[in-house]
Amino acid sequence: MAQRDERQRELEREQTGKPQAERRAGQQTARELLAFLEGSPTAFHAAAQMAERLERHGFRRLSERERWQLRPGEGYYVVRNDSALIAFQLPQGPWTGFRVVASHSDSPMFKIKENPEMEAEGCIKLNVERYGGMLCAPWMDRPLSVAGRVALRRDGGWETRLICLDRDLLLIPSLAIHMNRQANEGISFNVQKDLLPLLGSTAAKGAFQKLVAEAAGAEPEEILGHDLFLYNRQKGCIWGAEEEFVSCGRLDDLQCAFASLQGFLAGEKKRWAAVHCVLDNEEVGSGSRQGAASTFLQDVLRRISDSLGGDYQDYLCRVADSFLISADNAHAAHPNYGEKADPVNRPRINGGIVIKFSANQKYCTDGCTAGAVKEWCREAGVPFQVFTNRSDMAGGSTLGNISLSQVAAATADIGLPQLAMHSPYETAGVRDTEYLIRMLQVYFS
């Protein structure tokens, strides 16, 4: 153990010894990450962006409605509900199992309800509800807009279209301190009362439907339904005395999803069926058709196994010889709240990949799977660190243990360190995305 710690310290010294090149590579990757985040105001847009990149790299889209004829050496991807995506590449030669990275495409947001316009005090506001467990206060007093998916009437059925109203459109104003003197002594939010965004004056009545239709390139009466969310308009940025921080909305978990895709594309993918998997609805328990509790991942792995010749036994042998990395962002120890972190295991921003442990199996990492991750980190020359909750705090959970109920492969839960998780403007490190890409490139090789 002492020897291992020494090796880790050595690695950290190496990292601090080559700050310039590291920082440049990290900043370049952080800028690419920001471009990806800004193009992904919702899970739908994240999946669409990934599909586009996969197409550019020669991956072929498959439909779940058709039989799959897969060929060794080829790459494919499949999308479910426009919001979850699984890409895979088959090795040319013999293979025995899958190498999977699973992350999630969704983030806590406010979802716009049906018939959302409400009138109050000469204004039109929108009726919204909570999607996931967000920090509410940072959503207030800043420009917001609307993005998501609409269903349009087409030839007796429907067609979906992604929209993003790319303008400062909405805002949730705070109540002035004069009317709530306790505002700085702890405040609770009632979404139905406190967090409805303003759209305009009463002259804007009916504008919402029109704006949505216009963004979809359709007539208002053609809109059959919508899955629309508020998003924060503030652009992402790289900041700090040495430009060591990166802030933007949706770092949890698109930072890992982005790194997973980059590592997947860069890896050699020779010995294993490599799988990049981004599931939806993690923030609300993963229980949907496109979430980690669904059969999506299992369906895809079984179809891969079947179409390359093999029965159910062969599939089970392959799963038994597989590895799943569940990649979901982790809490860095907060400089203003050091007491909230475990006394010993205190992840730091830019300190590298976080391996998460939980005795009650909220995180599935065990001694063996952690050891495998550490070896991949060493091979990639990137630092790693450990997260455990304080023993007197419950903490969060993620998708690793949920996907295990469908695909029982050896699993490790990892993530990248961040602050302000579930704020609409989260903070992470410029170097960490690059570290994860490099580790996953090794994993996929």
Instruction: Tell me how far, at minimum, the Cβ of 38 lies from Zn ion, in Å.
Output: 19
Per-residue binding string, Zn ion, 123-162, x by CB under 5 A, is ----------------------------------------
318-337 binders of Zn ion (CB under 5 A): 328
Residue 43 or 172: the one with the smaller Cβ distance to Zn ion is 43
Report, in Å, the least distance between residue 251 CB and Zn ion. 9
Say if residues 134 and 222 touch (Cβ distance below 8 Å). no
Q: Which residue of the chain is nearest Zn ion when measured via CB?
A: 253
> Would you call 200 helix, strand, or coil by DSSP?
strand
Give the closest residue to 374 by CA, choosing from 298, 295, 443.
Answer: 443
Report the length, in residues, of the chain. 445
Question: In whole angstroms, what is the distance from residue 424 CA to residue 420 CA?
Answer: 9
Binding letters toward Zn ion, positions 211-250, x by CB under 5 A:
----------------------------------------
Contact 197, 123 (CB under 8 A): no
Q: How far is the CB of 228 from Zn ion (least distance, A)?
A: 22
Q: How many residues contact Zn ion, by CB under 5 A?
A: 3
Tell the smallest beta-carbon distance from residue 128 to Zn ion (Å).
21
The nearest distance, CB 279 to Zn ion, in angstroms, is 11
Q: Identify the CA nearest to 89 among candidates 76, 70, 103, 102.
A: 76
SS3 154: strand
In the bound state with Zn ion, the residue whose beta carbon lies nearer, of 72 and 287, is: 287
Cα angle, residue 274 at apex, residues 431 and 250 outer, rounded to 5°: 40
- 280 touches Zn ion by CB under 5 A: no
How would you class 16 by CB atoms within 10 Å of its CB: exposed for 0-12, middle for 13-18, buried for 19 or more? exposed
* 77 in Cβ contact with 278 (< 8 Å): no
Distance CA 245, CA 140 (A): 23
Considering only 82, 106, 227, 253, the residue that binds Zn ion (CB under 5 A) is 253
Residue 413 interacting with Zn ion (CB under 5 A): no
* Least distance CB 398 / Zn ion (angstroms): 6
| C-beta closer to Zn ion: residue 213 or 353 | 353
Tokens (6 digits) for 158:
């429907």
Judged by the rule CB under 5 A, the positions of this chain that interact with Zn ion are 252-253, 328
